[in-house]
């Protein structure tokens, strides 16, 4: 089945969104009981962490940790936004840099200026978007970023999106309370799908859509670590408490180029494998044997693969033992923690 299909359904009682590309599951969003990234709190400063420049905060959903904080005294209220999921047993990661993100626009309080996604290159289109933004934002002093999804989009829809985010940002900025409180809940899977999966797609909202499209079977398969690659090669993606280990196996191929082919296939499959499993943090690749002269070819394939992935990922480099390391933002909760 060619094309893109977005399925909005529930899986085991949890709000779920799935994206199919040419019949293959390409992305999966499953809700959890933990605070969602994007949630905004009026938190209360609790205790500083000497030597790290950070501060533990109290929120309605437990302890949070704010990095690189200055001039904040214990007992003082502060507006913060959840920036990701915490590791088990650790405080919520939060930031004072609030972002109000929607399908077409991102409002950035405290960072004035109007920016348009660099992927919008047509000058006439950029001029059109600038006119829309200036009219919709009015006298607002908040920063504004127009996303790549604005390109060729309806002007009224873009304007409404901008106006809604500017109003929301202004309402939060005017908060003057002193008790800890959730001021804005982060977007759930269905809203995230509308916000992030902006390409042309068929939309399925019928109950049972996940099962009808075979997604439930794929979710069950994601419980296992094995990801099949071409020519019998495979990778095993196994999260531990400290890191995510990825082992590459060349399979039955015994040719001189078998290792390089398997490693390039790993590079192409890795973003999807991590995305579907919700994995982040430190990632260590134990690659199939290949000559050092082929490392640059592998790095190029890896860089191209992650360039198309939305989650911030740093390609750190090689270790003395010949492993390759990455650092990936914990933007999602591991699927293993959502599954029963």
Which pLDDT does position 2 carry in this prediction?
A: 86
Give yes or no for residue 51 having a pLDDT over 80.
Answer: no
CATH number, domain 222-338, options 3.40.50, 3.40.630, 1.10.3470, 3.40.5: 3.40.630
| 40-97 is classed CATH 2.40.50.140 | yes
The confidence band for 24, taking pLDDT boundaries of 50, 70 and 90, is very high
Which pLDDT does position 78 carry in this prediction?
A: 95
Mean pLDDT of 183-207: 96
Convert the chain into a string of H (helix), E (strand) and C (coil).
CCCEEEEEEEECCEEEEEEEECCEEEEEEECCCCCCCCCEEEEEEEEEECCCCEEEEEECCEEEEECCCCCCCCCCEEEEEECCCCCCCCCEEEECCCCEECCCEEEECCCCCEEECCCCCCHHHHHHHHHHHHHHHCCCCCEEEECHHHCCCCHHHHHHHHHHHHHHHHHHHCCCCCCCEEEECCCCHHHHHHHHCCCCCEEECCCCHHHHCCHHHHHHHCCCCEEECHHHCEEEEEECCCCEEEEEECCCCCCCCHHHHHHHHHHHHHHHHHHHHCCCEEEEEECCCCCHHHHHHHHHHHHHHHHCCCCCEEEEEECCCCCEEEEECCCCCCHHHHCC
Mean pLDDT of 301-325: 96
Mean pLDDT of 78-90: 91
Which pLDDT does position 256 carry in this prediction?
A: 86
Tens of pLDDT along 256-268?
899 999 999 999 9
What are the extents of the domains in the chain? 4-31+191-215, 40-97, 100-176, 222-338
Which pLDDT does position 29 carry in this prediction?
A: 97
Which pLDDT does position 339 carry in this prediction?
A: 79
Tens of pLDDT along 243-286?
999 999 999 988 889 999 999 999 999 999 999 999 999 999 99
Tens of pLDDT along 118-132?
999 999 999 999 999
The confidence band for 152, taking pLDDT boundaries of 50, 70 and 90, is very high
Give yes or no for residue 138 having a pLDDT over 90.
Answer: no
Which pLDDT does position 93 carry in this prediction?
A: 95
The mean of the pLDDT values for the chain is 94
């Amino acid at each position: 089945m060619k094309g893109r299909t977005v399925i909005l359904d529930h899986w085991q009682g949890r709000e779920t969104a799935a994206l199919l590309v040419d019949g293959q599951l390409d992305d999966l969003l499953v809700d959890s009981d933990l605070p969602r990234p994007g949630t905004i709190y009026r938190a209360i400063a609790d205790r500083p962490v000497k030597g790290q420049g950070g501060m533990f905060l109290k929120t309605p959903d437990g302890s949070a940790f704010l990095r690189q904080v200055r001039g904040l005294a214990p007992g003082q209220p502060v507006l913060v936004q959840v920036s990701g999921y915490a590791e088990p047993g650790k405080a919520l990661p939060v930031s004072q840099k609030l972002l109000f993100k929607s399908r077409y626009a991102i409002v950035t309080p405290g960072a004035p200026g109007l920016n348009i996604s660099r992927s919008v290159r047509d000058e006439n289109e950029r001029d059109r978007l600038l006119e829309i933004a200036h009219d919709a934002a009015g006298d607002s002093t908040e920063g504004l970023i127009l996303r790549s999804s604005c390109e060729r989009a309806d002007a009224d829809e873009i304007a409404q999106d901008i106006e809604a985010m500017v109003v929301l940002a202004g309402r939060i900025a005017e908060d003057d309370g002193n008790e800890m409180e959730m001021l804005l809940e982060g977007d759930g899977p269905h809203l995230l799908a509308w916000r992030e999966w902006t390409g042309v797609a068929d939309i399925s909202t019928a109950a049972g859509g996940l099962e009808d499209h075979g997604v439930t079977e794929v979710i069950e398969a994601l419980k296992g670590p094995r990801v099949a690659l071409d020519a019998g090669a495979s990778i095993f993606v196994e999260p531990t408490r400290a890191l995510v280990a990825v082992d590459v196996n060349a399979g039955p191929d015994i040719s001189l180029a078998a290792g390089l082919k398997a490693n390039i296939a790993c590079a192409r499959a890795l973003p999807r494998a991590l995305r579907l499993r919700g994995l982040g943090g430190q990632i260590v690749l134990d690659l199939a044997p290949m000559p050092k002269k082929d490392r640059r070819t592998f790095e190029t394939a890896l860089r191209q693969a992650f360039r198309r992935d939305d989650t911030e990922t740093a390609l750190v480099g090689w270790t003395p033992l010949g492993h390759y390391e990455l650092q990936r933002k914990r933007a999602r909760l591991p699927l293993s923690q959502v599954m029963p």
